[in-house]
Amino acid sequence: MTKLRDKIKMTRCKYCKSKENLTVDHKVPIIQGGTGKNSNLQCLCRRCNGIKSGLSHKQVIRYFNWFIEIQESRLSAGKKPYTLR
């Protein structure tokens, strides 16, 4: 049986571009019905994979875009961008 790591390019994290602690992520998580097919796999670092958790890649992108929109509207209104900690 082919290991998941051998099915895709493991060069850098798709989200943060880190080259360290790389893992294989299921774009659509198994828990949401995702499969082990190559088209459902992507390389993420351990941190990004942990934060993504049970979300699908599409859900993550939706949250990213939402957050960027909020930041851009704050900046265009002359306000400081949010920091979440």
Q: Identify the residue among 5, 7, 11, 16 touching Zn ion (CB under 5 A).
A: 16
- Contact stretch for Zn ion (CB under 5 A) within 27-35, 39-47, 54-62, 64-72: 39-47
Q: Nearest-CA neighbor of 44 among 73, 68, 71, 9?
A: 9
d(CA 50, CA 30): 15
- Contact stretch for Zn ion (CB under 5 A) within 17-25, 34-42, 50-58, 65-73: 17-25
Q: Which is nearer to Zn ion, 15 or 26 (CB)?
A: 15
Q: Which is nearer to Zn ion, 16 or 75 (CB)?
A: 16
Q: Which burial class, exposed, middle or buried, applies to 52 when counting CB atoms under 10 A from its CB (0-12, 13-18, 19+)?
A: buried
Q: Which is nearer to Zn ion, 30 or 51 (CB)?
A: 51
Residue type at position 85: R
